[in-house]
A = this chain, B = another copy of it.
Amino acid sequence: MRLAIIEAQKALESDEIPIGAVIVVGDKVVGRGHNMVESLIDVTAHAEIMAITAAASTIGGKYLTDCTIYVTVEPCPMCAGALAWSQIGRVVYGAADPKRGYSRFGKEMLHPRTEVVSGVLSAECEELMNAFFAKLR
């Protein structure tokens, strides 16, 4: 999750909502990404989407069953849908997102074999988000 936070900081430096993601197999990083919606002018350029695309490219296969994604904020429905298609083994996220997160649509949004861990380093992940939105006001 430390690496995902570093990704989120990159987003913050580019005036993007600071969300970062890293995908690992064992202790090897196979994909990383940070939110680039504003810089790419593309609503699909979320941290998780970038990391999924990168990981599939590294692995040379579209399924991420042996992978864990670490993401600083609870994935949105779009990203949960992408994670479901990837059949990712494990989703570990930091801050919950009751308003925009996937869980309001239920855990069925993810693949039935995907394990979920939440609240990891959530204070730090949330602090980054608060810093961004405080700057806007």
Contact = CB atoms under 8 A, between A and B. Distances in A.
A44 interface: yes
Nearest to A85: B43
A46 to B, nearest CB: 9
A contacts with B: majority SS: helix
Interface of A: 37-38, 41-44, 49, 52-53, 56-57, 60-62, 76-82, 84-86, 105-106, 108-109
Contacts of A56: 41-43
Contact of A62 (B41, B62, B79, B109): B41
A56 B37 CA distance: 11
Given A43-B56, A43-B85, A77-B77, 5 more contacts: A41-B62, A42-B57, A44-B82, A77-B80, A78-B84
